[in-house]
Structure 1
Amino acid sequence: MRTLPKRLKKGDTVGVISPSSPPDQENLKKALPFLEELGLNVKLGKSVYEEKGYLAGTDKERLADLHAMFRDPEIAGIFCAGGGYGAARYADQIDYAMIKENPKVFWGYSDITFLHTALGEYAEMVTFHGSMLASDVGKPEFHERSRRMFGQLFEPFELHYTEEVSPLETIVSGVAQGQLVGGNLSLIRSAIGTKFDLDVKGKILLIEDIDEEPAEVDEILNHLRMARKFDEAAGIVIGDFKNAEPNKRKPSFSLEQVLADYFSGLKIPIVKGFKIGHCEPHFSVPLGALARLDGDAKTLTILPGVQ
């Protein structure tokens, strides 16, 4: 069992960092009042303003921000401004023992998937796959349902995903229970063969991605297949695959054909259509929390991610 971070309370101070690429400053500026509306005080990390090529400062600077926020006893939670690329570059330098002693709400997705996997494995804590500030909250299309998902940080409650949220399709029926793990498909693949290789044995695997056309999704899924990830998982939750349209390679299979090719013959419950990923609304979920996927009823139930 992973450690549940303490719930947030009104009046708490939370940190904002950029673990990967530089955030859009205008969108971030528009997003910060949302945290204040939640009753939170905000402390910005130095990486939020740094820019070094496609990175939000050097690896050393971004790592220092991450460490500082976990070490600071006045910081109750940490929100990522955005994703992009770069979190994996310093994952092997993180002080996991220190973070394990100071578990806190840690919230983000996309490139942050690498940190979710690392913190789950080596700090043994639940983290949150949720909307990011500059990438989502600060944009006009930020959905009311996405907004409400932050409530799970203040009061422990079970999450119930049904077709009231979005249409779902069962690829393989059945029921599975286990920790919910995963996130961005490309980042899961990038960790294979490293010490941060995602452990999916007996767990429910969540996958989502953006800007990967069907042939590229095919390539990644084949890599996971040959790495035996699908043989080890208890169930698979297929989230949003934004812009998964043929571009460079025409003619092409559709995304639906690719998913069916890899998943329809498996003997574990697999359901697709979840609004989890680069989408609005974004259904935010605690990674490492216990979940139940019911392919017959087309539901996903997740236990609370905070205590």
Structure 2
Amino acid sequence: MIKPNALRAGDRVTVVAPAGKPDHEHLKQGIKVLENFGLEVTIGPHVFSDEEGKEAVEQQVKDLHEAFADPSIRGVFCATGGFGSAKIAPLLDYEGIKKNPKIFWGYSDITYLLNAIQKNSRLVTFHGPMAASDLNDEQRTEQTESSLSMPFVEKTAVFSDRHSSLQVLAEGEGRGHLAGGNLTLLTNGLGTPHQVDSDGAVLLIEEVGEPAFLIDLKLTHLKQAGVFDSVQGVVLGNFQVEADEEEKVSKVLRDFFADASFPVVKNFPFGHMQPNYGVPLGVNVKLTTSPPQLVVDSGVSR
């Protein structure tokens, strides 16, 4: 895997919106957070475009291509989630991205692009909080903001009970590359050239607001497609469901992974929650259950 160069204070980065138009004020607040890390922040020309359909897709692809091609830009941060990233994936110049590696950061609907770029460009990508939807003044927590230091530092990260109350669903120890993201997007990618690279992976899975029966259906779809055949571990985020659905979801997860031959740990603070810690996808990780923790190699190089 290609690791992008670490960011430094004074570097120029850009914010793009491949999954939908962000709230103006929220993006302004998120940009301020990035600037507090010493970054010079620009936004893609079409971040606030009102175009829809084919025209919107063309604009989003153009913003991404220009961001990766511009040698003065060291990082590409997504503004928000939404929908539509799957339409962008077949149109990306993966060879051009491979030749111009840099930080690519987002999650939720961006899961599709994180995995597509990781798989087709062999570039480490980052599953992490987005400028408008997570770094705004209403949502942002100190821990979420602190995770933005990850692309600045070439060092191993350890996630354990000090970050969140972790629950072991299946015992064991697993090593592999970190892959995954949002459950819906992982399921949607099955059978495409952009399907998650789960072979030998520790698989990250998170979701938001889905009822238990749909979570069960999507996990079953992944299983029957062979996604769990060769994984070395599964890291589950918080699924952010309503209180009356929470026990149903917990039971689905317990039952689904009850006989897993690999370690499974639930309630890691990634994805649609606060705090929302950033993690690099494509790097080597070690998942243990005694104690429950995830050790993650650096996603950047100097």
Normalised by the length of structure 1, the TM-score is: 0.95
Once the two structures are superposed, residues 110-164 of structure 1 have per-residue CA deviations (whole angstroms, 9 ceiling, x without a partner) of: 0010001110011101010010011010132311111111111111111101101
Over 3 Å counting, the alpha-carbon distance change for 1:13 and 1:129 in structure 2 is same
Cα displacement string for residues 61-119 of structure 1 (whole angstroms, at most 9, x for unaligned residues):
00000000000011000000001101110211100000000000011000010001110
**Corresponding residue for residue 137 of structure 2:** 139
* Distance in 2 between residues matched to 1:46 and 1:242, nearest whole Å: 33
Question: Unaligned stretches of 5+ in structure 1?
Answer: none
Give the Cα–Cα distance (whole angstroms) in 2 for the partners of residues 242 and 150 of structure 1.
Answer: 22
Between Structure 1 and Structure 2, how many residues are aligned? 301
Query: Distance between the aligned counterparts of 1:122 and 1:229, measured in 2?
Result: 18
Deviation at 1:202, TM superposition (A): 0.9
Deviation at 1:52, TM superposition (A): 3.2
Residue in structure 2 matching 1:213, options 206, 211, 219? 211
Counterpart code for 2:144: S
Rounded Cα–Cα distance in structure 2 between residues aligned with 1:57 and 1:156: 39
Counterpart selection for 1:226 from 220, 224, 227: 224
Instruction: Tell me by how many angstroms 1:21 deviates.
Output: 1.1
Aligned to 1:84: 82
Structure 2: segments with no counterpart, 5+ residues: none
Aligned pairs for 1:263-282 within 5 A = 263-282=257-276
Question: Matched residues in 2 for 1:303 and 1:57: separation?
Answer: 39
Give matches, 1:175-214, under 5 Å: 175-214=173-212
Equivalent position to 2:299, from 284, 291, 305: 305
CA RMSD for the aligned pairs? 1.6
CA distance in 2 between counterparts of 1:121 and 1:27 reads 31
Q: 3-state DSSP class of the match of 2:76?
A: strand
- Equivalent pair of 1:22/1:56 in contact (CA under 8 Å): no
- In the alignment, does 2:108 pair up with 1:114? no
Q: In structure 1, what is the Cα distance between the partners aligned to 2:27 and 2:247? A: 37
* Deviation for aligned residue 1:57: 6.1
Counterparts of 2:289 and 2:196 in 1: how far apart (Å)?
23
Q: 1:27-76 CA distances to partner (integer Å, 9 max, x unpaired)?
A: 111111111111111111022111235x7961000000000000001100
Q: Which amino acid aligns with 1:269?
A: P
Do the aligned partners of 2:133 and 2:139 also contact (CA within 8 Å) in 1?
no
Q: Tell me if the contact between 2:180 and 2:204 (Cα under 8 Å) persists in the aligned partners.
A: yes
How far, CA to CA, are the matches of 2:278 and 2:71 in structure 1?
A: 26
CA offsets, 1:245-298, max 9 Å, x none? 667xxxx97111100111111111110010111111111100001100002210
User: Contact between 1:204 and 1:233, CA under 8 Å: does it hold in 2?
Assistant: yes
Q: 134-143 vs 293-302, which deviates more?
A: 134-143
Q: 1:162 aligns with which of 160, 166, 172?
A: 160
Letter of the 2:168 partner, please give it: T
User: Is the deviation greater in 59-68 or in 142-151?
Assistant: 142-151
**In structure 2, distance between residues paired with 1:274 and 1:139:** 23
Aligned to 2:290: 296
Q: CA deviation at 1:26?
A: 1.4
Structure 2 letter corresponding to 1:129: H
Give, as a single letter, the amino acid of the residue that structure 2 aligns with 1:296. Answer: S
Runs of 4+ in 1 over 6 A off after TM superposition: none
Aligned equivalent of 1:285: 279
- 1:195 and 1:122 map into 2 onto residues whose CA distance is 8
- Percent of residue pairs bearing the same amino acid type: 37
